[in-house]
Amino acid sequence: MEKRKLRVLNKRTIEVMVWLADGGYKQSFLHYDESVQDTCCIRVRSHSKWGALDTNGTMVLDIAYDELEPLGDKYLGRQGFQRCFYDVNGNLLFADILGNYTVEHLLEGKVAVVRQICKDWRFAFFDIRKSQLLSDWGHWCVEINSGFLLEDNDSDAHHNRCLFADKEGKLQIVEYFQKDGYQMLTANGGCSVFEKKNKILQLPCDMIQPSDFGVPGKMWFVPTKDGKKALYDAKGQKILDFAYDEILRIGWYGGQELFLVKVGANVGVVARNDETLLPLQYKKILPLEEGFLLVSDNAKEGYAQSDGRVVLPPVYQRLVIDSLSQMIKAFENDRCTIHDMNGKKLLPDAYAESEIYLCKEGIIVKDGTFIARTGDVVLSGFTKIERLSLPGYEALLVCRDREFGVFSFKGEEIVPVEYELIEADNFGYRGIDLF
């Protein structure tokens, strides 16, 4: 019987040696587009298709594969979309275990992610060396940059558990959930966050919660460790360290991103890198549209600016910002004082709210006084003062002993106080003596 042996001479040429019965030999050559010597066989490529010859020259895998990858004593071959395992004799492997399958991913040549070609597209982890399934069949499998997540059929409504296989094929059960394109994993005392398969954050913590803080299209991450929370942005950059029971985002004020933090029963305001703007000594802090923060302590209210400067200490029953005049009404014992937005007191005394009218030019008091925004008394000693308004022009109507006049907001007399009636129209003011 002839003895044959094949040897790859170069990329395109295979030498065939045949030893004859009479002790002689014959030499011939096989030519392919590409030839590669493997452990047990020789892979050959012709017209963009791959096959395999054994060392005796027998074609064990026909030249019909788009890809052919050696795996020790096996091959992983792809025809179209389907990838399967074959032995060195060209026999399809594991069909009795996996059915009609395709190999989705290979982890270090030890563990494969396989998918059954069926209506439901089921996935599983498969040990190639031991020829056994490592998991039940799941309905989805997600790739991240350090491995693969497989649905765990034992998950319940409270725990979204998954099987995780790393790149080396090691399996573990992890907690998993996703939100807005991000995937969160919790396992072995650590948590990871992935976006589009790329890891952006990994921390030794108990859990990580995503939050958009009510801002569409934005994302922050709130990890928890030993009961304390920290804060990271969507790029994995740390904003606040593990020091707080609760963290809420206030927004951007004065060029800084502010966060409301809570420890125990007290709240405060911090900026990035734990810069304290308002210390943890208040019971309540509310952001206001005007860029102010309402601070509360022992049922008393005060105001602070976004840079942390306290404008009014929390000693008032109630505080109200008048949006038209941009002044602050500070109430105590059902009477109020008026302050500007920097906290300066504009009225020397407290009045009932009904005795004060605020306008953008200043304060009109029921006792016949007009006070400018600077706190200076402009007009006084009148029975009554009202604000008159014409298109593009405003002034003050004053009354003293039933006689009326008109003054500017700077205290300049426009119409003398000597008329029983003042009419205003687009041409100005006219004093009318009725008798």
216: CB partners within 8 A, 6+ apart: none
- Asked if residue 386 has pLDDT above 50, the reply is yes
Over residues 17-42, mean pLDDT: 88
Domain annotation covers residue 43:
yes
Residue predicted with more confidence, 418 or 390: 418
- Asked if residue 19 has pLDDT above 70, the reply is yes
Q: Running DSSP on this structure, what letter comes out for residue 94?
A: S
Q: Which of 281, 284, 303 is nearest to 293 (CA)?
A: 303
pLDDT more than 70, % of the chain: 94
Checking 56-64 for CB contacts under 8 A at 24+ apart, the result is: 56/4, 56/5, 56/6, 57/4, 57/6, 57/16, 57/30, 60/88, 60/89, 60/90, 61/86, 61/90, 62/90
Asked if 33 contacts 55 with a C-beta cutoff of 8 angstroms, the reply is: no
pLDDT of the residue at 282: 94
pLDDT of the residue at 158: 42
> What count of residues does the chain have?
435
pLDDT in tens, 208-261: 989 999 888 889 999 999 999 999 999 999 999 999 999 999 888 878 889 999
Domain annotation covers residue 36:
yes
For residue 161, is it left (φ>0), alpha (ψ between -120 and 50) or beta? Answer: beta
pLDDT in tens, 181-218: 888 888 877 898 888 778 889 899 988 989 999 888 88
**Domains contained in the chain, number:** 1
Pair of tokens at residue 155: 């998950």
pLDDT confidence of 434, banded at 50, 70, 90? very low
- Asked if residue 430 has pLDDT above 70, the reply is no
Domain annotation covers residue 427:
no
Over residues 22-46, mean pLDDT: 89
pLDDT in tens, 136-161: 998 888 888 678 888 876 544 445 78
pLDDT of the residue at 432: 45
pLDDT of the residue at 151: 81
pLDDT of the residue at 320: 92
d(Cα 112, Cα 104) in Å, to the nearest integer?
7
- Asked if residue 1 has pLDDT above 80, the reply is no
d(Cα 279, Cα 48) in Å, to the nearest integer?
71
Please tell me the pTM assigned to this model.
Answer: 0.65
Task: Name residue, tokens 């030249």.
Answer: 63
Domain annotation covers residue 16:
yes
pLDDT of the residue at 353: 93
Domain annotation covers residue 66:
yes
pLDDT in tens, 35-84: 999 988 999 999 999 999 988 888 999 999 999 999 888 999 999 999 99
**Helices and strands in the chain, H and E counts:** 1, 46
Q: DSSP letter string over 192-260?
A: EEEETTEEEEEESSSEEEEE-TT-TT--EEEEEETTEEEEEETTS-EEEEEEESEEEEEEEETTEEEEE
Per the structure, the complete domain to which residue 3 belongs is given by: 1-93
Over residues 84-113, mean pLDDT: 92
pLDDT in tens, 296-337: 988 899 999 888 899 999 999 999 999 889 999 999 988 999
d(Cα 242, Cα 254) in Å, to the nearest integer?
25
Residue predicted with more confidence, 431 or 227: 227
Q: What type of residue is 115?
A: R
Q: Which of 265, 258, 257 is nearest to 281 (CA)?
A: 265
pLDDT of the residue at 424: 65
Domain annotation covers residue 35:
yes
